[in-house]
Structure 1
Amino acid sequence: MFFNILKILHIISVVSWMAALFYLPRLFVYHSEHFSNKGFLDVVKIQEKKLFDMIAQPAMIGTFISGIALMIFYPISIFKSGMWIHIKLTAVILLVIYHYSCWFYLKKFEKSSVPPRSGKFFRFYNEIPTILLIVIVVCAVLRF
């Protein structure tokens, strides 16, 4: 039962983290494309900060805690069960790098008088977590 509770917490944390990583760069698109609209920017800046601080960061921490707990309570042989876990963990590390790159851009938007990147850049940038999520899910389900 404890193992199932850990899995439930892990799935909820991952879904919350991914939701934040999908939406935050979309806000960056709007932020970049409407940089001259001060009233709009005031609202978007609040949304970006709250999304990162109150959803993305806690969800990432919950994902890590529950994921590490699952690996501790799962047989150690998980690392000998195939390449899937290594690929999955590599994709997770890339998601963490992406997460903190979002934080970097969030800070740039807070301090800059011009957008740090174009809306077109952030539209592309917004696809990265989707690709990584696909890799993670394929690895977790197929366990090759």
Structure 2
Amino acid sequence: MKRFQLSATPFEIAPLRARLLHAEAGAYSSFEGWVRDHNDGRPVLGLRYEAYAALAEAEGERVLDEALARFDLAAAACVHRTGDLAIGDLAVWVGVSAAHRDATFEACRFVIDEVKRRVPIWKHERYADGDADWLHPDAGAPGETR
């Protein structure tokens, strides 16, 4: 099973966490990112994530490879939702295990930061005033030529 996955439907965390259990691991940390009801002072009704799936999965695997090597992890995984999400929905999950807790804390932060920075997943927020916007214009919207 791939360590980095995109999911068009809600997913369960428990089976993902179970994949991180290893005899050499004395610690586990995870990060959950949820859809919130505001951004930059604007009420948010929901959002949509779109991804260039093949490239996103490949780059996500590279991020996890780097984390495994850099933090001497036993295991690492990440799942990112795509499609329409409502307020409170789980949008992204990162989990890591290692011999010691410090490595897991640092690795979780590294993985989520690098996924947000490097993996081609775009967020389109819908606002209460009827407006909508792509949140990362530097990366360009899906289908947009740069």
Q: Identify the TM-score tier after normalising by the shorter chain.
A: under 0.3
Q: Which has the larger radius of gyration?
A: 1
The structure richer in helix per residue is 1
TM-score by length of 2: 0.25
The structure richer in strand per residue is 2
> Greater relative contact order (Cα 8 A, min sep 6): structure 1 or 2?
1
